[in-house]
Chains A and B, each alone.
Chain A
Amino acid sequence: MKQTLQAALLAAVSAFGLTAFVPAQAQNVQSVTIAVGAQVTSLDPHYHALSPNYAVAEMLFGALAGFDAHGRIQPGLAESWRPVSESVWEFKLRPNVRFHNGNAFTAEDVAFTVARVPTVPNSPSSYALYTRAIKSVEVVDPMTVRFHTEGPYPNLPNDLAQVSMLDRETHDGAATEDFNSGKVAIGAGPYRFVSFRSGDRLELARNEEYWGPKPAFERVSYRIMTNNAARMAAVLSGDVDMIDQVPTTDIARLRREERVRLSEADGLRVIFLGLDNSHPEGSPFITDNDGKPLTVNPLHDVRVRRALNMSIDRNAIVERVMEGSAIPTAQFLPPGTFGYVPGLEPVRPDLNAARKLLADAGYPNGFRMTLHGPNDRYINDARIIQAVGQMWTRIGVRTAVEGQPWTTFVARAGRQEFSAFLAGWGTASGEASSPLRSLTATYTRDRGWGGSNRGRYSNPAADAKLEAALRELDDAKREVLLQEATRITMEDVGIMPIHIQKNVWALRPGLAHEARADELTRAQDVRPAPAAR
């Protein structure tokens, strides 16, 4: 449906020759209207851990730490932090910070927030994930707070960057509904609450007392428009000043369009293929060339995995399918992030070498396989699996492709029903331990590892490096351990990264926007463009 609409809009656009007419409109520099493609489900910053909700929380509330546009951690409501012992972190709070209602932000509020997070009722995705490592909170003085953890826990600042700080006095006993109605939507963020209509729009006003750089716009209208075509039409017609999630099919045309300009950044979301590692006695969607099930799972053989990996032409996918709005990759994160492995580049596509690897593994004539993927979740997901299917077929692995709605796909993938599948991973914390722990670490319930490891890949060598990294408080040493874990996993083809998405916004020419790696669309990142001379 979505794709039909997009195609229709595109057809309509070319039919009418869009560039012909630019509507004259009164440009009000005091306010900005932004349309976003994903639903804000709640204003309670501890109810539903979901990126649109993070974006709103960063406008209204703010956390102890934050991320800059490139996904690197930086101070927020805390000015600095350091481990004072193996299991204690000390955070120095920013002085003279006030909530929108004038209450001062102190260490007591931090303790209250950490206590509230796990108690929010009915949460479909709790923020307790980010506070669980904290065993106790010690208020040293009003501007100093110490977090006691079970053992060394180097990721605490990154985790706390996801947790919006609340005011003990205002939010004691506050329910999720009270945030949505605006009664207690009070934080220390750059914008204050004006009104919220679920599924429609959020209105904000600038917080003149904000501790950080003052946002450019006094008023913000933050609209939710989940339909791609509607969002595109809204920015082209000048109804909104900026949209996020620009469809890749429209990007080439928009570059020539005078009415909008694009703002782009390399994202933190990697699109990858997962392989079945859980059925040694034959994978559900793999058969020999006559259609008879195989008694061993060929994907257990690293030579087969390498052959499949080597046959994928990532540059072609990025150029043809993604229209250039992605970067080919062989790892989890883009350059410049914590844990990026310099020099780990995608393997050059080599069909003969791939065929030879297959023959060495005992499959000179290949086999048959089905590659599954969602068709409504990631940018161009269904088209990517089609392209990969063709590339695999060229080396003799005759691949059928099946795209399905995310709702069905994710449940089946979680039950290990597929042999090979496409998925994506957004590293919200901006550092490599998050994908290593959730995506490729051995599935271990007690440790909480491999929660999204849907292929059940397992590699003890990588696990050992990861375990060491998760206990290493020294940043430089930890980064090396994470790089080693990543390298081991990728050389063993635990997963096959394809590309890292670029995040694309479209805005009207009078505006400038600082594009963010973490996909968040925040009003404080928009300002009037410096006047052209």
Chain B
Amino acid sequence: MSLYLLRRLLQAALVMLAMSVIVFVGVYAIGDPVEILISPDADQMERERAIKALGLDLPLWMQYLSFLGNALRGDLGRSFVFNEPALQLILQRMPATLELAFGATIMALIIGIPLGLYAGLKPKSFGAKCIMTGSILGFSLPTFWVGLMLIMVFAVQLGWLPSTGRGETVDVMGMRWSFLTWDGLRHLAMPALNLALFKISLVIRLTRAGVRETMLMDFVKFARAKGLTNRRVISVHVFKNIMIPVVTVVGLELGSTIAFSVVTESVFAWPGMGKLIIDSINVLDRPVIVAYLMIIVLMFITINLLVDLSYSALDPRVRLENK
């Protein structure tokens, strides 16, 4: 077991290393951050000074080695644009992205499971057909378009919700959270729904498939024969069984929501990590790009590891050492 963990950690380190090399070479190939950041009025001397100040005068391999040395001490560099530690910049924006991702996931479960249950239990009904057709839309409509439509209808036309941005925040544990205020929730509603749409459809389909499969199982027949009420059969016995795939998939989806909610964040001007990474790519702010991707790689590796570990806990037939 510990050998397995060690090997996984080593793999993680290698992936992060490879990724940082790719970003370094990639940013170098795209262009020169100084050309983008510097005032056009700047003369040649000023340009040379800026290149030196940002450490870009050294050959690429030396820049990379010094980055690596600092990274081992936990310092991922300072943003070229903001002159603040890249890691700190990202962590400052993390709460905004986390509450958006969790908001979307919770919405997906609250809306998706009941609809999926209904569609699974009464597959022939008109309502079920509507739900299933609707879920196709959820899969196929582009996020940015749906986002703009939501803004047009609920903010511009009806004026019920604020169009963009994040609401009031309160400080909890040194981080700013907006889901604890009414204003914050109002701001959160549309972007979270926009991000949730795809997940709702996913949960509906998973739940429906699970219900239809489970309802035919022997233990359901047995429970019925035992004289349990329909309500109890579904809410306890069926429900437990269908939750395993739903939770697995939603958990993995959460990771990609945190990492890649870029489109929703920029349509709604949501000050999260996704917007930071897009802005950083536009100005070639290499330290932030590298730090962000490293955090994301680390997060995915951790989630995958947790999933593998939980499988082995749930199912003794899965032996990690034999993999």
Contact = CB atoms under 8 A, between A and B. Distances in A.
Interface of A: 4-5, 8-9, 12-13, 16, 18, 20-21, 23, 25, 39, 41-42, 44, 47-50, 121-126, 128-129, 176-177, 180, 197-201, 223-227, 229-231, 233-234, 236-239, 376, 406-408, 410-412, 414, 425-426, 428-429, 434, 438, 445, 448-449, 451-452
Contacts of B144: 4-5, 8
A198 B89 contact: yes
A431 B162 CA distance: 42
9 contacts: A12-B149, A129-B46, A176-B83, A198-B84, A226-B275, A233-B163, A239-B162, A411-B31, A412-B31
A372 to B, nearest CB: 14
Contact of B39 (A16, A125, A230): A125
Given A50-B39, A197-B271, A239-B162, A121 B32 contact: no
Contacts of B165: 200-201, 223, 225, 234, 239
A355 B81 CA distance: 48
A238 B159 contact: yes
Interface string B144-171: 1100110111011111001111100000
B36 interface: yes
Contacts of A408: 30-31
A445 B37 CA distance: 20
Contact of A451 (B43, B53, B148): B43
Interface of B: 30-47, 49-50, 53-54, 78, 80-84, 89, 92-93, 144-145, 148-149, 151-153, 155-159, 162-166, 176, 266-269, 271, 275-276, 279, 282-284
B53 A124 contact: yes
Contacts of B34: 124
Given A126-B46, A234-B165, A428-B41, 18 more contacts: A16-B152, A16-B157, A21-B159, A25-B159, A123-B53, A124-B37, A177-B84, A224-B269, A225-B164, A226-B269, A230-B267, A237-B151, A237-B162, A237-B163, A239-B162, A407-B283, A438-B40, A452-B40
3 closest A-B pairs by beta carbon, nearest first, are: A448-B43, A411-B31, A23-B159
A340 B34 CA distance: 31
B9 to A, nearest CB: 33
B159 to A, nearest CB: 3
Contacts of B155: 233, 237, 239
Contacts of B78: 122
Query: Which of the listed residues A180, A407, A410 has the most CB atoms from chain B within 10 Å of its own CB?
Result: A407
B81 A41 contact: yes
Given A227-B266, A236-B156, A12 B148 contact: yes
Contacts of B45: 445, 448
A199 B93 contact: yes
A21 B157 contact: yes
Contact of B38 (A41, A47, A124, A406): A124
Contacts of A412: 31
Nearest to A444: B44
Query: Which of the listed residues A123, A125, A128, A180 has the most CB atoms from chain B within 10 Å of its own CB?
Result: A125
B80 A124 contact: yes
Contacts of A197: 176, 271
A161 B199 CA distance: 53
A47 B83 contact: yes
Nearest to B54: A124
Query: Which of the listed residues A231, A233, A449 has the most CB atoms from chain B within 10 Å of its own CB?
Result: A233
Contact of B164 (A123, A230, A451): A230
Contact of A125 (B38, B93, B164, B268): B38
B279 A226 contact: yes
Nearest to B48: A445
A124 B159 contact: no
Contact of B40 (A9, A407, A426): A426
Contact of B43 (A50, A122, A129): A129
Contacts of B31: 407-408, 410-412
B268 A230 contact: yes
